[in-house]
Amino acid sequence: MSTFAALGVHKDYIKSIKEIGISKPSEIQEKAIPILLKSKTDFIGLAQTGTGKTAAFGLPVLHQIDAKSEHIQALILSPTRELVQQIKKQLFKFTKYVDERIFLEAVFGGEKIDRQMNNLKRTTHIVIATPGRLIDLIERGAVDISHVKTVILDEADEMLSMGFKQDLNRILKFTTKSDRKTWLFSATMPEEIKRIVKTYMDANAPRIEINKNTLVNANIRHQFTRTTLKTKVDDIVTFLEKRQSQRGIIFCRTKAGAQNLAKQLIEEGFSAAALEGDMQQKERDKVMRAFKNESLQYLISTDVSARGIDVKELEFVIHHQLPEQLEYYTHRSGRTARAGKSGTSLAFILPSEIEKIHQIQKELQIKFTEVTV
Q: Which is nearer to ligand ADP, 187 or 318 (CB)?
A: 187
Within 311-340, the residues that bind ligand ADP by CB under 6 A are 338-339
Selected binder of Mg ion within 31, 53, 125, 335 (CB under 5 A): 53
14-45 in b/e form (b: 16+ CB < 10 A) is bebbeeeebeebbbbbbbbbbbbeeeeebbbb
Q: What distance, in Å, lies between the first and last C-alpha atoms of the chain?
A: 42
d(CA 95, CA 123): 16
Q: Which is nearer to ligand ADP, 144 or 315 (CB)?
A: 315
Give how many residues touch ligand ADP by CB under 6 A.
19
Least distance (Å) between residue 129 CB and ligand ADP: 17
Amino acid type, 300 = I
Q: Which is nearer to ligand ADP, 5 or 354 (CB)?
A: 5
In order of 107, 146, 291, the CA distances from 119 in angstroms are 9, 18, 27
Using CB distances below 5 to 8 A depending on partner kind, what does residue 29 bind out of ligand ADP, Mg ion, none?
Answer: ligand ADP
Is the distance from CB of 65 to CB of 126 less than 8 angstroms?
yes
- The span of 14-22, 74-82, 287-295, 360-368 binding ligand ADP (CB under 6 A) equals 14-22
Using CB distances below 5 to 8 A depending on partner kind, what does residue 79 bind out of Mg ion, ligand ADP, none?
Answer: none
Least distance (Å) between residue 51 CB and ligand ADP: 4
Please tell me whether residue 137 binds ligand ADP under the rule CB under 6 A. Answer: no
Q: Which is nearer to ligand ADP, 54 or 227 (CB)?
A: 54
Distance of CA 317 to the CA centre of its chain: 15
Please tell me whether residue 310 binds ligand ADP under the rule CB under 6 A. Answer: yes
Q: At what angle do helices 81-94 and 53-64 cross, to 10 degrees?
A: 60
Please tell me whether residue 217 binds ligand ADP under the rule CB under 6 A. Answer: no
What sign has the CA pseudo-torsion 243, 328, 289, 233?
negative
Give how many residues touch Mg ion by CB under 5 A.
2
What does the DSSP assignment read for 317-352?
EEESS--SSHHHHHHHHTTSS-TT--EEEEEEE-GG
- Write the binding mask 17 to 56 for ligand ADP: x where contact by CB under 6 A, - elsewhere: ---xxx-xxx--x-----------------x-xxxxxxx-
Using CB distances below 5 to 8 A depending on partner kind, what does residue 338 bind out of ligand ADP, Mg ion, none?
Answer: ligand ADP
Q: How many CB atoms lie within 10 A of CB 257?
A: 17
Long-range contacts (CB closer than 8 Å, 24 or more residues apart) made by 287-295: 288/82, 288/85, 294/247, 295/271
Q: How many CB atoms lie within 10 A of CB 139?
A: 10
Least distance (Å) between residue 256 CB and Mg ion: 28
Selected binder of Mg ion within 60, 79, 131, 308 (CB under 5 A): 308
- The span of 15-23, 172-180, 270-278, 285-293 binding ligand ADP (CB under 6 A) equals 15-23
| Residue ranges binding ligand ADP (CB under 6 A) | 20-22, 24-26, 29, 47, 49-55, 308, 310, 338-339
